[in-house]
Amino acid sequence: MNGEKTEGGRWLNEGDCITWVESENKPPKIYPLDLSIIYEDNYIAIIEKPAGICVSGNQYKTVYNALGHNLSPSTAIDALPWPLPAHRLDNQTRGLLLIAKTAGARIKLGHDFECKAIHKIYHALVVGKPEKKGEIKVDIDEKKAQTSYELISYTPACKGGYLSLLKLTPHTGRTHQLRIHCAHIGSPILGDSLYSKEELLLKNKGLFLAATGIRLSHPIIGDHLSFDTAIPEKFCKRMTYEKRRYDHFQNSHNS
């Protein structure tokens, strides 16, 4: 700005001169992790991110470094040097991740996320038994945040009384929004070490949260796209285990 290098969050004044210089970043070091490709064309892709791996960051084992191993290069005029994630998922969250392969697609996807034109669906196992449906409107970092939820199924559990499967639809995109909102209604997500009571945690089982659906307009072609992925098998296994454990406890107590 005005001939000097500056940070991106700098406030501007009338008359300031902004010059954009493309950074000479080196191509990512390819991480040969096989990803599940849900959709791919010349402009975008949708992959399924595994739990326990970061989308990007200052480390080798990331989705960002694995994209070149999994996706075909774009032949578009404005093709990016390498594909880039268009949004983020927490390290412990698995599920659908949108990838940009061209500059135009990346810009349009960023705009659509900002305008809330891209809709994401999550499923989570939570402690307790919330109401059948609800809206959670609790500010996060002094910014408005809203989440809709629907109770899909539940089972009695020895800890927390119940274990419930929720469908979650975030209407805003705050950091840890779903985790904070579920904890706010008294039903923290199973495996959440930040927002759950320590006695309700599971060791080495990960976070029971998955991005299972995404709805958007194609950033270049304009077609409506809708994708869903299965609820992780470990969710169903956990509910079955908790039900069996609860029944065993009840039978032992009554005998």
Give the Cα separation of 109 and 115 in Å (integer). 10
* Region of residue 3 (phi > 0: left; psi between -120 and 50: alpha; otherwise: beta): left
Spacing of C-alpha 163 from chain mean position: 22
Residue 119's SS3 state is strand
Q: Please tell me whether residue 74 adopts helix, strand or coil conformation.
A: coil
- Residue 190: which of 169, 215, 164 has the closest Cα? 164
Contact between residue 53 and residue 63 where contact means Cβ atoms under 8 Å apart: yes
Instruction: Reply yes or no on whether 90 is catalytic.
Output: yes
Q: What angle do CA 31, 32, 37 make, to 5 degrees?
A: 105
Beta-carbon contacts of 112 under 8 Å, excluding residues fewer than 6 positions away, are 118, 216, 217, 219
**Catalytic residue from among 16, 34, 78, 90:** 90
Which residues does the annotation mark as catalytic? 90
